[in-house]
Amino acid sequence: MRLIENKLQNVNIYQFQQDLLNWYDTNKRDLPWREDQDPYKIWVSEIMLQQTKVDTVIPYFHRFITKFPTLHDLAEADQQDVLKVWEGLGYYSRARNLQNAVKEVVAAYGGEVPHTPKDLGSLKGVGPYTKGAILSIAYNQPEPAVDGNVMRVLARVLKIEDDIAKPSAKKQFENYVRELISQDDPSSFNQGIMELGALICTPKTPMCMFCPVQQHCKAFAEGIEEELPIKSKAKKQKKVPYAALLIKNEKNQYVIEKRSDNGLLASLWQFPMVPIDEIGFDHLENWVHSEYGVKITLGSKAGNLKHVFSHLIWQLEIYQAKTIQNQLYDQRLKFVDKEGLELYPFPVSHQKMMKFI
């Protein structure tokens, strides 16, 4: 607590609040989830905005709310429909966790999004940030909502030189926000500091001349704004090579596979992928037969794709293949004609393979 007091001792907190709130009121972007304070819409938007840019999220948000306009609609939806609407947005566990949590809200809270930190924080996929965003933005409670933008702004304003990549950092920044947040308008305060980080206090070349809280910023005063925040680099991503197979039968149907209900890209559909490093290219046809019970004849190479995840990189070689089978015995697999492929939720990498069909 003494550390927080030391960092804040020369900050005019009231003036900081007013400068930020006045700027936000004038400069806030017109975003669809800001049209009202519906906690369901704010919840959906905050989950979508995790690790995804605002401009990317807007059309997805519109589609999602059109398809599932209320919390009850989402709770009752088929998971495959939810994943299809989410298709292309990535980090699909967000969609599954959101739907599971919404089901819990219907079952345990009568369809009303909880407004206490304990109840809201107990829901699947609702971490400290999402909890704080919903409580402050929808319910106007003075709860911190600390994301990357907030940490960057405060690291510069308060000249915090700790590594923000450390797990303990977010808790520290939450404590700073608790001291700084406007008790009168916490909704606008939290959105304002996020907006400031998105529009002005950007990661590279921040536009300090336009910053409403420039007079409060210690990093600007010392000319070190571009050196903060300090963030250690993530581990290098592991590269994993696969052969992806576009297997077609005599009826011009393609084999697609449903991924496991757990783990990476859970419950999405894909074209079968062969781990080349493990089995070698020469044994590919035999591996497909032993793994899926499908006899194939490998055809020509159709192309290459690379797909980057946060922790690994898929290096995909795409091949045409044929089978004389018209029946599949592995429950993971389905035959689908070209037109039917669009009914299934595919990850981005496999959507891109459609051009080779």
Are 346 and 270 contacting, i.e. CB atoms less than 8 angstroms apart? yes
Are 139 and 115 contacting, i.e. CB atoms less than 8 angstroms apart? yes
DSSP string, 283-307: GHHHHHHHHHS---EEEEEEEEEEE
Reported as half-sphere exposure (CB side, CA atoms, 13 A), residue 172 has a value of 20
Extract the tokens encoding 57: 């999220």
Does the annotation mark 46 as catalytic?
yes
Cα–Cα distance measured from residue 240 to residue 316, given in angstroms and rounded to the nearest whole number: 8
CB atoms within 10 A of CB 356: 15
Cα–Cα distance measured from residue 123 to residue 100, given in angstroms and rounded to the nearest whole number: 8
Cα–Cα distance measured from residue 235 to residue 10, given in angstroms and rounded to the nearest whole number: 37
Extract the tokens encoding 188: 């606008």
**What sections of the chain are H helices per DSSP?**
2-8, 13-27, 39-49, 54-67, 71-76, 79-86, 93-109, 117-121, 128-133, 148-157, 167-180, 186-199, 218-222, 276-279, 284-292, 348-353
Catalytic residue chosen out of the listed positions 5, 35, 46, 291: 46
Residue count (the chain): 357
The 3-class secondary structure across 309-321, one letter per residue, is CCCEEEEEEEEEE
Q: Catalytic site residues?
A: 46
